[in-house]
Structure 1
Amino acid sequence: MKRLLACTLAMLGAQAAFAMPLTVPQIQTASTQTTRYDCKGGKSVTVLYTNTRNHQSFAALTVDGRKLLFVNVIAGSGAKYVADQYTWWTKGPQANLYDEMAAKDSSPLLADCETRKK
């Protein structure tokens, strides 16, 4: 598939009528998975994970009304994704969303998220 993130961005929806899907012909999608998380405080978030044939990983989710594409970066444990000032960090079925610009003692924006049971 030559449209690496076309399906990712399609899931996120167009923000404007003139928005074009992001395509990177050199990077091919290997798999995608949509996961829904239930978080502390009754919040929930849906994340579309995209893995590529060259072993890169992406996570697409909405933060404060903004549709963002997170890129996987090195982590001591779990899977850590970053976009703008945010970090989405998963460990097994748990995840948290952090604002790296917030005070060091701030709580995560989304805390104690767990994959939704089917």
Structure 2
Amino acid sequence: MRFLSIALIVFLSACGQSSTDGPASAEQSSDASLSFKYQCESGKTIKVSYPTDSTAVMEYDNRRLQMEIAVSGSGARYVGERLEWWTKGSGEGASGTLFRHLADGTSGGAIEQCAQDADTA
């Protein structure tokens, strides 16, 4: 009985821990929007917020883009308005790439190569 009680306490404490896998983690809580700023090689800035675990809102080139999560081999990938936002890693220096999104659902050419700033958006 004592073992069962200890196992239950360990299980419940693990359920209360939050994930730190990055902004697009499947475990992300939808009660708070995460926001990040990326500095691109072109000199432009991309600001992205993640209002839910399956959506992203990007501010780029004087446009506000609504994006939905999409399948990726690694990292987090969001698609919307014929563009793709693909991030890998989390924290300062994490990479983000803006691609064209082709009609067949694949990635087109890269538009921007960016790195996450230390400051959030």
TM-score higher than 0.5 here? yes
Give the aligned residue type for 2:72. A
Structure 1 residue 110: deviation in Å?
Answer: 1.3
Q: CA RMSD in A?
A: 2.2
Aligned partners of 2:96 and 2:62: how far apart in 1?
19
The residue number in structure 1 matching 2:20 is none
The residue number in structure 1 matching 2:42 is 41
Bigger Rg, structure 1 or 2? 2
TM-score, length-scaled by structure 1: 0.61
Unaligned stretches of 5+ residues in structure 1 = 1-27
The residue number in structure 2 matching 1:109 is 111
1:22-101 counterparts in 2 under 5 A? 29-51=30-52, 56-92=53-89, 93-101=94-102
Structure 1 residue 29: deviation in Å?
Answer: 3.5
In the TM superposition, what whole-angstrom CA distance separates every residue of 1:27-82 from its partner, at most 9, and x where no partner exists? x933211100001121111111122xxxx421111344432110011111000000
Residue identity over aligned pairs, in percent, reads 29
In the TM superposition, what whole-angstrom CA distance separates every residue of 1:67-111 from its partner, at most 9, and x where no partner exists? 21100111110000000211000011111001124xx884x2211
TM-score, length-scaled by structure 2: 0.59
Report the CA distance shift for 1:80/1:37 in structure 2 as closer, same or farther (over 3 A): same
Query: What number of residue pairs does the alignment pair up?
Result: 83
- Conservation of the 8 A alpha-carbon contact between 2:55 and 2:67: yes
Please identify runs of 4+ aligned residues in structure 1 that moved more than 6 A.
none
